[in-house]
């Protein structure tokens, strides 16, 4: 089964797996499901009995505030465990929506319980994945609090570029970017009008090329510098500026 490969590869970059551990993951009985753009993978308030891993496409997590405002609290790329926390935390505090057509693997929670019971090293890897997810949230919090729109958006592009590269989703110097300017605004806590203007500035400065849902970064080191982006929190292994 190939579907969990991007996820397993991500774990394996962090820690070598034994053949038996690898087999355990490979044989996780998963249901593979296809979603159209903007379909719900999980719904806030519910307590699903499975967690989802993105196989292809993108997804985000949406928090709905009391007065109806929509805030995106995460974006996910292939290989990401979108809602591992739903295994332990009920009910869900947010929904998961596809950002593009997507293929998603659903892992039954009782299989995760089996891992907890029998595979302490895999369990630790699951905790690592949760911790990494939380580290990304913290970085976003810091960026939202301290940086103006221009650099905040630049930061988002840097992060997504590196995560998509790790997920082997790059073509040329770019990747499919299904988010609308409204989405980017909801991610960064900005209005779509302001996103539009900041984006134009990023284009004018030659830092990004974004057209027809495809994002290119002609000079990553320059964008990283403009964003004051520090990739440490992503816990990637290689030098982030190298191709």
Partner DNA sequence: CGGAAAGTTGACATTCGTCAATTTGTGTGG
Partner DNA sequence: CCACACAAATTGACGAATGTCAACTTTCCG
Question: Which of 15/200 has CB closer to DNA?
Answer: 200
Q: In the chain, which ranges are continuous DSSP H helix?
A: 5-14, 19-26, 109-118, 120-146, 149-166, 181-188, 192-204, 220-227
Closest approach of DNA to the CB of residue 237, in Å = 33
Candidate residues 27, 32, 120, 203; the one interacting with a copy of itself per rule CB under 8 A = 120
Block residue for tokens 């080191």:
221
Binding positions for DNA, rule: CB under 7 A: 148-150, 152, 180-182, 185, 189-194, 196-200, 212-213
| Count of residues engaged in binding a copy of itself, rule: CB under 8 A | 51
Residue of 24, 56, 123, 216 that binds a copy of itself (CB under 8 A): 123
- Structure tokens of 201? 């500035």
C-beta of residue 212 within 8 angstroms of C-beta of residue 140: no
Q: Which residue, chain included where needed, has tokens 């505090």?
A: 93
Least gap, CB of 112 to a copy of itself (angstroms) = 9
**Of residues 125-154, which lie at the interface with a copy of itself (CB under 8 A)?**
126-128, 130-135, 137-147
132 binds, among a copy of itself, DNA, none (CB under 5 to 8 A by kind): a copy of itself
CB contact at 8 A, 58 and 75: yes
Measured from the CB of residue 106, what is the shortest distance to a copy of itself in angstroms? 19
On whether the CB atoms of residues 91 and 39 are closer than 8 A, the answer is no
- Asked if 25 contacts 17 with a C-beta cutoff of 8 angstroms, the reply is yes
Nearest to 51 by CA among 59, 42, 38: 42
Which residues from 91-110 bind a copy of itself, rule CB under 8 A?
91, 93-94
Q: Distance between CA 159 and CA 156 in Å, rounded?
A: 5
Number of alpha carbons in the 13 Å side-chain half-sphere of residue 78:
22
Question: Of the listed pieces 30-38, 156-164, 186-194, 207-215, which binds a copy of itself according to CB under 8 A?
Answer: 186-194
- Asked if 65 is part of the footprint of a copy of itself (rule: CB under 8 A), the reply reads yes
Residue numbers at the binding site for a copy of itself (CB under 8 A): 61, 63, 65-67, 69, 71, 73-74, 85, 87-89, 91, 93-94, 113, 116-117, 120, 123-124, 126-128, 130-135, 137-147, 186, 188-189, 228-230, 232-233, 235
């Amino acid at each position: 089964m190939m579907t969990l490969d991007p996820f397993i590869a991500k774990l394996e970059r962090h820690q070598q797996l034994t053949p038996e551990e690898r087999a355990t993951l490979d044989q996780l009985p998963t249901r593979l499901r296809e979603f159209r753009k903007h379909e719900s993978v999980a719904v806030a308030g519910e307590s699903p009995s499975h967690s989802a891993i993105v196989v292809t496409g993108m997804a985000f997590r949406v928090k709905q505030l009391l007065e109806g405002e929509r805030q995106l609290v995460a974006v996910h790329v292939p290989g990401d465990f979108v809602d591992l926390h739903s295994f332990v935390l009920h009910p869900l505090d947010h929904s998961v929506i596809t950002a593009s057509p997507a293929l998603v693997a659903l892992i039954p929670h009782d299989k995760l319980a089996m891992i907890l019971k029998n595979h302490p090293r895999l369990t630790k890897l699951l905790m690592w994945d949760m911790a990494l997810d939380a580290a990304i949230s913290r970085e976003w919090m810091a960026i939202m609090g301290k940086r103006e729109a221009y650099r905040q958006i630049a930061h988002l592009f840097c992060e997504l570029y590196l995560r998509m590269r790790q997920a082997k989703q790059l073509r040329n110097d770019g990747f499919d970017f299904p988010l609308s300017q409204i989405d980017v605004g909801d991610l960064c806590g900005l209005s779509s009008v302001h996103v539009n203007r900041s984006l134009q500035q990023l284009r004018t400065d030659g830092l990004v090329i974004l057209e027809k849902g495809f994002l290119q970064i002609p000079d990553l080191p320059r964008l990283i510098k403009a964003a004051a982006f520090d990739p440490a929190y992503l816990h990637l292994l290689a030098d982030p500026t190298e191709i």
